[in-house]
């Protein structure tokens, strides 16, 4: 039986000028099919390998600050099924570099999936919110997230940025999709007829509709933050800790229970004090174009 032509909703592609912040992804429904959800988490590993850009960010933004003898620490916020956290831990290990990765997610289903996979040295998972780690006084050399931003409203986004500053002694990298007609049509065509047993395609299209444009993010970012546009159709929020903070982090507690080392990341941008306690969405589990 032949496959029908790919269907990408043209009306929705034309209506991408405004962010669809009220659109809901299937996997955010607590009652969604558990088998399809597990398949979706598994498929994120494939999709993210092609579209997330973390291999390049690891090489440019993370690896130069790592050491063969002195451990560095990294926090992945909203880690979902854990594929990005696992990739970062594997790449550092293969390069012979010391990196301790802590991956957190508030969703019990995501945490169960991530912890059911084989353990990796230097990688730990916690079911937690970033605000909980702030309360613990945890600090990390790097704070990252993958496809979490589009799950957040304005207040939640502000809370995430405040948390990131409080948790980071070096560099923050929050990567997400950029909303555009080309991204919507391209993802719709590229994922057809694949991923039929998961929510990847449907939720991926919803994610793009929920995502920000570079201009929208720049209009709400506090001082010290910047947005870079990267391929394919990605935005990266970046922040660097002030020099005094990055040089004095060795005595702070890392979220994995170890001591956070001082960061060698060059920093020039002044930070700002946090203003609000974050309220994180339980659906922000970040690990793919369809889900944070």
Q: What is the band of 246 on the pLDDT scale with cuts at 50, 70, 90?
A: low
33 vs 284 pLDDT, higher one = 33
pLDDT at 195: 77
**Range from 47-61, 96-110, 253-267 that averages highest in pLDDT:** 96-110
pLDDT at 265: 35
Q: What is the pTM of this model?
A: 0.81
Is the four-CA dihedral 170, 171, 174, 179 of positive or negative sign? positive
Q: What is the rounded distance in angstroms from the CA atom of residue 80 to the CA atom of residue 78?
A: 6
Give yes or no for residue 245 having a pLDDT over 80: no
User: For 27-46, what is the mean pLDDT?
Assistant: 93
pLDDT at 250: 37
Give yes or no for residue 249 having a pLDDT over 60: no
51 vs 61 pLDDT, higher one = 61
pLDDT at 4: 45
CB 184 within 8 A of CB 206: no
Burial of residue 157 (number of CB atoms within 10 Å: 0-12, 13-18, 19+): buried
Among residues 181, 173, 166, 121, the alpha carbon closest in space to that of 144 is found at 173
Residues 6+ apart with CB under 8 A from 114: 41, 79, 80, 81, 82, 85, 103, 105, 125
User: For 56-76, what is the mean pLDDT?
Assistant: 98
CB 160 within 8 A of CB 152: yes
Give yes or no for residue 257 having a pLDDT over 70: no
Residue 145: C-alpha distances to residues 142, 157, 203 (Å): 10, 12, 18
**Picking from 75-89, 130-144, 223-237, 245-259, which range would have the lowest pLDDT averaged per residue?**
245-259
Burial of residue 88 (number of CB atoms within 10 Å: 0-12, 13-18, 19+): buried
Per-residue model confidence as pLDDT tens digits over 155-210: 999 999 999 999 999 999 999 999 999 888 887 887 777 778 899 999 989 999 99
- Domains delineated in the chain: 45-122+135-292 (3.40.50.150)
Q: Give me the residues paired with residue 259 across strands.
A: 253
Q: What is the band of 31 on the pLDDT scale with cuts at 50, 70, 90?
A: very high
């Amino acid at each position: 039986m032949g496959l029908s032509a790919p269907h990408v909703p043209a009306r929705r592609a034309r209506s991408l000028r405004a962010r669809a912040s009220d659109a809901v992804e299937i996997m955010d429904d607590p009652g969604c099919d558990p088998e399809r959800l597990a398949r979706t988490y598994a498929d994120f590993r494939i999709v993210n390998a092609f579209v997330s850009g973390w291999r390049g960010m690891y090489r440019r933004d993370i690896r130069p600050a790592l050491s063969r003898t002195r451990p560095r620490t990294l926090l992945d916020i909203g880690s979902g099924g854990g594929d990005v956290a696992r990739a970062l831990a594997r790449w550092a290990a293969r390069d012979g570099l010391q990196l301790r990765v802590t991956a957190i997610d508030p969703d019990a289903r995501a945490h169960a999936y991530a912890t059911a996979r084989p353990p990796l040295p230097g990688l730990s998972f916690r079911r937690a919110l970033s605000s909980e780690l702030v309360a613990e006084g945890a600090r990390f050399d790097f704070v990252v997230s993958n496809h979490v931003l589009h799950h957040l409203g304005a207040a939640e986004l502000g809370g995430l940025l405040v948390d990131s500053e409080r948790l980071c002694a070096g560099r923050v990298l929050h990567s997400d999709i950029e909303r555009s007609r080309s991204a919507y049509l391209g993802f719709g065509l590229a994922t057809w007829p694949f991923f039929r047993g998961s929510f990847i395609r449907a939720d991926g299209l919803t994610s793009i509709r929920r995502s920000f444009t570079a201009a929208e993010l720049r209009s709400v970012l506090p001082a010290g933050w910047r947005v870079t546009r990267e391929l394919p159709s990605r935005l990266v929020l970046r922040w660097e800790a002030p020099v005094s903070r990055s040089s004095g982090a060795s005595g702070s507690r890392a979220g994995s229970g170890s001591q956070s080392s001082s960061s060698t990341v060059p920093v020039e941008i002044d930070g700002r004090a946090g203003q609000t306690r974050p309220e994180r969405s339980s659906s922000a589990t970040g690990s793919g174009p369809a889900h944070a």
